[in-house]
Amino acid sequence: MAKTIKNQVAQERRETVAYTVKNEKLKQWVHEVAELCEPKEIYWCDGSQEEYDRLMSQMVAHGAAIALKKRPNSFLFRSDPSDVARVEARTYISYPDKDEAGPTNNWIDPVSLKKTMLDLYKGCMKGRTMYVIPFSMAPLDSPMAKIGIEITDSPYVVCNMHIMTRVGPQVIEALGTDGEFIPCLHSVGAPLAEGQEDALWPCAPIEKKYISHFPEENLIWSYGSGYGGNALLGKKCLALRIASVIARREGWMAEHMLILRLISPEGKVYHICAAFPSACGKTNLAMILPTVPGWKAECLGDDIAWLKIGPDGRLYAINPESGFFGVAPGTSHDSNPAAMDTLEKNCIFTNCALTDDGDVWWEGHDDPAPEHAIDWKGRDWTPDNPEPAAHPNARFTAPAAQCPVISPDWEKPQGVPVDIFIFGGRRTRVQPLVVEAFDWDHGVFLGATAASETTAANIGAVGNLRRDPFAMKPFCGYNMADYFAHWFAMGDRLGDKKPRIFYVNWFRKNDEGKWLWPGFGDNSRVLKWMCERIEGKVGAEETPIGYMPRQDDLDLTGLDWPMERIAEALEVDIEAFKAEVPDMEQHFAQFGARLPERMKIQFEEYKKRLGL
Ligand code: OXD
Ligand code: MN
């Protein structure tokens, strides 16, 4: 009896698929989800331009998207005011044993979490189309590629996934009859009753949002949010949280890192991977236009790196994404000219302001504030308005291939060999411009103690200092203490082929609130010092916190900036470092007995060097 009813329901639901799907497990999963979520129809995405254009015109017709007159094939969306960023407080790493998730993750046991979410998913796609998105993270011809299937009821998510990942029947083809895929289920959590008009940005209230990961099953379930990393499940959920677990198991690394190529005047090539927390300048550094004479840079990725030891024993990095989902406010021809050029066409903008001539604008844009605009909430806005016109976490979604400084090797299947790791964050005080780790273990300690002021990329207070180890606090899919151990173990496996490790802070200010370092293109001066350290060409001073350049060790040719501020940017205030030790104690204490012995040794040595 049950079977007949099932069949009847299935027959009533239209299913559109323009290619042959041979993978039974996939077909079965899609139909199970349809029975649970009860969409009005199922549509398998093909990743084509025609599909993108069709969905966009539907969203324009509905009013959810605004076609920008000034930018070809570009659209503006405004989210619900409650749905503007990742929601770390509603993000779960679910293992049967809480200790596997560790103290830095939210945890609910899989049985109760699934029960709660199944109740929410029941009928949640009523009145909507269920889209099935076959996507690959990393180019399909890369040995690193991972296939995901995202099921979503959001056409906005489909269009973003077109840009951020590789979508299409080639992915289904690669799956064959029994290939493995990572199931990623997403719903905005806003079923439509018969005749009910759809919201412009449907989503569920905060207490019903769940961004859940079941690492033991490689499974992702997201409910209630349509924004960024909560909804584009290839990004943070798959390429970081789930991938970090797989990586540890298989002996590689999934990191919240940009990938950058630097080329010296002599043509020597260096690859740098840098981990900074969200909204701390990864996209700007990834697309840097060096000001230091003779040096060139190319971008390979701005947010995520997958790193694997190659046949020659070196560590190779590949960017699993195919687009940039960057923070718009603060992006300008000054801060990031390459990003501004990338944004000229074929982009999606979310929560930016709309100008009267049909373009987007945000705080920190080169163009002065327009005399009148429509703000991110859809209200009239003039420069005397105390609220910003764009939300501080307003975003652009842009194809990586469009970036004028994209490296010709950005899709190289085996990736590029890494020479340098950089950690860092946004610290107004205390942390100097740059420090080099004494060795790998000390570098792991620097990564593990990384701290940064919180930003608008997560819903919550902005500007508070928090420890964000390796910029992975919101993205590590297992116990962070085990993640530290994995870093130590990778160092052992890399032997003398280990990249060198540095820690930077571009954001230090003086007592008058003035920046101590110019930042942006001038950061290349610090990168040059790092490359020359590798070559043994330039000096450094040993300090209790690591090796540091003296002012003369930095190439400051042509830099028009008060030299006394640079001196201050390089100052180490030992008392200020000592004052932070209790916070570090607390940070490490949360891991209890799981904290690797090698980390304890590093911490003891650090305290000794500070004279404690
Ligand atoms: C991102 C983030 O979107 O880190 O990359 O929040
Ligand atoms: Mn990020």
Per residue in 378-428, pLDDT tens?
Answer: 999 999 999 999 999 999 999 999 999 999 999 999 999 999 999 999 999
Both 198 and 169 in one domain: the answer is yes
Same domain, 139 and 284: no
Nearest Cα residue to atom 1 of ligand 1? 278
Residue 283: CB within 6 Å of ligand 1? no
The amino acid at 422: I
Q: Per residue, what are the HEC states of 272-296?
A: EEEECCCCCCHHHHHCCCCCCCCCE
Is 280 an active-site residue? yes
Q: Which of 280, 352, 403, 476 is catalytic?
A: 280
Residue 4 forms part of a structural domain: no
pLDDT of residue 478: 98
> 129-137 and 41-44 as β-strands: parallel, antiparallel, unpaired?
parallel
Question: Residue 100 is part of a domain; what is its CATH number?
Answer: 3.40.449.10
Looking at the DSSP bridge assignments, the partners of residue 395 are 327, 350
**pLDDT given at position 1:** 30
Which of 83-87, 158-162, 446-450, 460-464 is predicted with the least confidence, judged by mean pLDDT? Answer: 460-464
What is the pLDDT at residue 458? 84
Residue 213 lies in a domain: yes
- In the reported structure, the alpha carbon of residue 465 is separated from the centroid of ligand 2 by a whole-number distance in angstroms of 18
Residue with CA at minimum distance from ligand 1 atom 2: 278
Question: What was the pLDDT predicted at 454?
Answer: 87
Residue 84 Cα to ligand 2 middle (Å):
15
State the chain's mean pLDDT as an integer: 96
Residues 564 and 497 reside in one and the same domain: yes
Q: How far is the CA of 473 from the centre of ligand 1 (A)?
A: 12
Fill in the amino acid letter for 524. S
The stretch 474-487 carries a mean pLDDT of 98
Percent of the chain whose predicted confidence (pLDDT) is above 90: 95
pLDDT of residue 5: 38
Last residue of a domain, one of 225, 250, 275: 250
Q: Which two tokens stand for residue 575?
A: 């008392």
Could you tell me if the CB of 468 is within 6 A of ligand 1?
no
| Averaged pLDDT for residues 249-259 | 98
Question: Ligand 1, closest atom to CA 474?
Answer: 4
* Rounded Cα distance, 401 and 423, in Å: 26
Asked if residue 67 belongs to a domain, the reply is no
Q: Is the CB of 303 under 6 A from ligand 1?
A: yes
Which CATH number does the domain housing residue 573 bear?
A: 3.90.228.20
Indicate whether 281 belongs to any domain. Answer: yes
Q: Cβ distance 104 to 98 under 8 Å?
A: no
In a domain, 261, yes or no: yes
**Where does a domain end: 350, 378, 402?**
402
Side-chain half-sphere exposure of 450, counting CA atoms within 13 A: 30
Both tokens of 329, joined, read 């406010």
Instruction: Please count the structural domains in the chain.
Output: 3
Q: In terms of domains, do 330 and 314 share one?
A: no
Distance 66 CA to ligand 2 centre (A): 26
Q: Which atom of ligand 1 is nearest to the CA of 327?
A: 3
Residue 464 has pLDDT above 90, yes or no: no
Is 50 exceeded by the pLDDT of residue 8? no
Q: What value does the mean pLDDT take over residues 349-354?
A: 98
Task: State the closest ligand 1 atom to the C-alpha of 228, by its place in the atom list counted from 1.
Answer: 3
Which is the closest atom of ligand 1 to the Cα of 229? 3
| Ligand 1 site, residue 229, Cβ cutoff 6 A | yes
Rounded CA-CA distance 314/229 in Å is 31
Question: Ligand 1 center to residue 377 CA distance, Å?
Answer: 21
Domain boundary among 195, 229, 250: 250
Q: Is residue 12 very low, low, confident or very high in pLDDT (cuts 50, 70, 90)?
A: confident
Which residue range(s) make up the domain with 260?
Answer: 254-319+410-609
> By the 8 A CB rule, do 240 and 472 touch?
yes
Find the mean pLDDT for residues 468-493: 98
What's residue 7's pLDDT?
41
Q: Estimate to the nearest angstrom the gap between the alpha carbon of 410 and the chain centroid.
A: 17
Q: Does the Cβ of 80 fall within 6 Å of ligand 1? A: no
Q: Ligand 1 in contact with 228 (CB < 6 A)?
A: yes
Is residue 305 located within the same domain as residue 394?
no
pLDDT in tens, 571-612: 999 999 999 999 999 999 999 999 999 999 999 999 999 999
Give the torsion through C-alpha atoms of 11, 13, 16, 21, to 10 deg: -60
Are 105 and 225 found together in one domain?
yes
- Residue 84 CA: which ligand is closest? 1
Q: Give yes or no: residues 329 and 299 share one domain.
A: no
Q: What share of the chain is helix, strand, coil (3-state, %, to 5)?
A: 35, 20, 45
Contact 344, 526 (CB under 8 A): no
Condensed to tens digits (0 to 9), the pLDDT of residues 203-235 reads 999 999 999 999 999 999 999 999 999 999 999
Residues 420 and 330 in one domain: no
- Residue 459: pLDDT band (50, 70, 90) is confident
Q: 95 pLDDT exceeds 70? A: yes
- C-beta 474 within 6 A of ligand 1: no
The 315-318 sheet, strands edge to edge: 253-255, 305-309, 315-318, 416-417
Domain identity same for 285 and 368? no
- Please report which confidence band the pLDDT of residue 332 belongs to, taking 50, 70 and 90 as the band edges: very high
Same domain flag for 368 and 427: no
Contacts of 489 (CB under 8 A, 6+ apart): none
Answer yes or no: is 9 within a domain. no
CA angle 209, 184, 186 (to 5 degrees): 35
**pLDDT score for 460:** 84
Q: What is the pLDDT of residue 11?
A: 52
Q: Does residue 51 lie within any of the structural domains?
A: no
Asked, for residue 76, whether it belongs to a domain, the answer is no
Same domain, residue pair 393 and 526: no
Which pTM was predicted? 0.96
- In this structure, the number of other CB atoms found within 10 A of the CB of residue 8 comes to 10
Residues 118 and 266 in one domain: no
